[in-house]
Chain A
């Protein structure tokens, strides 16, 4: 019998707060973190809203306890801040105490800093400290620096499946535990805003000049965001042995592929439907047991139509409360799955459903609308969290209240 997998620690940083509690306070206060970038040099600076962490890279380095370390990119620093909180939250003083895994997720690694010096690197006439950034461009750099700071080293790797990356990192860590390869895995993702990704999504014409409006008839695209989030996963036997506090149980997961189009989901949401259906089946729960779905809800035309269809197909006329929290944080790409996993855990622990901001008009192709009010004292026991990405990658996770 494979071990159950519990969440014993959470840590995060996003546009709505530098730790979990600040994030929770902003969610509860319905305070969005969207605005205009202060730190990215782009012609879209005053045009495209983003969810930027409200600290300069220097301030982040202070917060992470690494001042004056230019080889620590913004991506790494965001991750380090979230990692430190996650370990502390799990009551882990020294991660070296046992073999553990660090499964990270990233879409463009240290591009945030590398893109500023890329053409200097290419210029043989130029020498200087920027040469230290050369190796930070790939996705492994941030993972290894965070791993080395904490001392986690049994399994160290990085997943990149676009916007579903950190959901897949959580899945992979949970599977390492169930296969008995480790008893503890810290999983999640880190993502810094870059000129590269802002221009990438803008060139695809799916960024909104207004604040994003998930599941709204007038929605017109996403707003990018940045942040990092990690969850400490532990086996049931480890939890019992060290009497760890359990925040929630990761009871189900599924990864499917749409095999439909490189950057667009199928109109009927086939991949989303299968991912949710199979994750729920694995969790041993039925559709009636789900009180809340934290949807992917990017506010792009395609995603919301397709994900909405999948919800209607799976739940029929009994679709549970659902909301996209991306109007709070922006779409944090590789970090999104883990950011929203933590919001799902908070929904369970605080018995609360967070509102879908900026919604006003029902989509004509759907019969359902997202929850737009903050619901407190709401009996949340099981939550589905969705993350879908380019390449047809779909991932759904099921979080359940810990019942001993």
Chain B
């Protein structure tokens, strides 16, 4: 497979001021608990008011990031729409669970049930843009966005589409924050993003976000040259995969000048990052989790950050490494073309 695609445009809604398209990383000051929320843009220019009122939070985040990405790429109808989400609309899932209990299974409003369906954002993007082509949704923790990207690369390689919209979205709610805190996903006390990487404790800071990319076969400045997913590797297997990945792209580690690392301050899994980072001592390293928090599809924000860094330069070749709680590991190789 020709596992390569150009990124013509992207868009992100995140805890950063990212929606405008610029990225000036700002460490937030959190209050109360180790959880950050996105800065929601003004959705009214994207969604008719009637629809906007009915839509839950992650649907708006997902749909609008997708629409902004299409606008940025001057495309209305892509050849395929592919998304990844670990949790879908948590708010709707929670609401329907509560409604079933509170109303004893009677006279239930179906809207939260419909919106809790994992592919509802995909359906909305297709509906709003009248895109009747290929449409798929992956729901697999740290392999949700990543398989959306692989699927996009395959669609282009198969010649089924010339432009593929692929992206990811996940939200955090207070209820879900509490649930995950019971099994150690988050730092026990309040940890500030500025202190995240140096903290020697378990867990991370909860985050959320939505990011979309327009992948094309037509050359553009930024190119995704490859992706490799590794499921539950040992530290040795991870090292081996990294080496194979780089050599399959005819790259030596010293040619990577930007390492975008998903390091999230969780002492249980730092060793994976240590192992990768020590191979690239000459590269500039950018840690993106202090800016977006940890969530299933944080890798999408990582790719967005890599693209933004490469656009600003001077670095030309970026390696993105991310993993989700030690289980799903991914490398992506991104290059700024020289024209």
Report which A residues bind B (CB closer than 8 A). Answer: 42-44, 106-107, 115, 118-119, 121-122, 131, 134-135, 138-140, 143-144, 147-148, 153-162, 168, 172, 175-176, 178-181, 195-196, 199-200, 202-204, 255-263, 270-271, 274, 389-393
Contact = CB atoms under 8 A, between A and B. Distances in A.
With a 10 A CB-CB cut-off, give which of B129, B140, B141, B232 has the most chain A CB atoms: B140
Contact of B154 (A42, A119, A140, A179): A179
A260 B126 CA distance: 9
A200 B154 contact: no
Interface string B227-267: 00101100000000000000000000000000000000000
A195 B154 CA distance: 37
Given A195-B105, A262-B127, A162 B232 contact: no
A134 B183 contact: yes
B194 interface: no
Contact of A134 (B133, B134, B182): B182
B164 to A, nearest CB: 13
A270 B180 CA distance: 43
Given A179-B154, A257-B132, A390-B120, A138 B114 contact: no
A255 B180 CA distance: 35
Nearest to A164: B119
B272 interface: no
Given A43-B104, A181-B1, A195-B105, A134 B137 contact: no
Contact of B133 (A156, A199, A204, A256): A256
B114 A195 contact: no
Contact of B97 (A118, A140, A153, A180): A118
B163 interface: no
Contacts of B105: 42-44, 195, 199
A220 B117 CA distance: 23
A67 B108 CA distance: 37
A161 B100 contact: no
Contacts of A162: 117-119
Which 3 pairs across A and B sit closest by C-beta, in order of nearness?
A: A391-B123, A200-B113, A160-B118
Contact of B179 (A106, A121, A389): A121
B138 interface: yes
Nearest to B87: A138
A381 to B, nearest CB: 26
B195 interface: no
A160 B179 contact: no
B140 A158 contact: yes
Interface in B129-159: 129-141, 143-144, 147, 151, 154, 157-158
Contacts of B229: 155
A259 B130 contact: yes
16 contacts: A138-B141, A148-B232, A153-B231, A157-B140, A159-B136, A159-B139, A162-B117, A175-B154, A179-B158, A256-B132, A256-B135, A257-B81, A258-B132, A259-B127, A391-B117, A392-B135
Nearest to A121: B179
Contacts of A196: 96-97, 100, 113
Contacts of B1: 179-181
Contacts of B216: none
B43 interface: no
A392 B118 contact: no
B118 A204 contact: no
A187 B233 CA distance: 22
A262 B143 contact: no
Contacts of B158: 175, 178-179
B106 interface: yes
A203 B183 contact: no
Contacts of B127: 259-262, 392
A9 B177 CA distance: 42
B151 to A, nearest CB: 7
B182 A131 contact: yes
B327 A390 contact: no
B101 interface: yes
A160 B126 contact: no
Interface in B72-119: 81, 86-88, 96-97, 100-101, 104-106, 108-110, 113-114, 116-119
Contact of B123 (A138, A140, A157, A392): A392
Nearest to B175: A122
Given A122-B178, A157-B144, A257-B126, 9 more contacts: A122-B175, A143-B140, A157-B138, A158-B140, A160-B118, A175-B154, A204-B113, A259-B126, A391-B124
B122 interface: yes
Contact of A389 (B119, B138, B231): B119
B108 A199 contact: yes
A154 B143 CA distance: 12
Contacts of A138: 86-87, 139, 141
B325 to A, nearest CB: 10
B138 A158 contact: yes
Contacts of A263: 114
With a 10 A CB-CB cut-off, give which of A43, A158, A260, A274 has the most chain B CB atoms: A158
Interface in B308-332: 327
A199 B1 CA distance: 44
A161 B232 contact: no
With a 10 A CB-CB cut-off, give which of A107, A115, A160 has the most chain B CB atoms: A160
Nearest to A102: B231
A204 B119 contact: no
Contacts of A195: 100, 105
Contact of A140 (B86, B113, B130, B182): B86
A172 B100 contact: no
A391 B135 contact: yes
A257 B133 contact: yes
Nearest to A389: B119
B327 to A, nearest CB: 7
B55 to A, nearest CB: 11
Given A153-B232, A179-B154, A391-B117, A43 B137 contact: no
Contacts of B139: 106, 138-140, 158-160
A119 B178 CA distance: 12
A249 B270 CA distance: 46
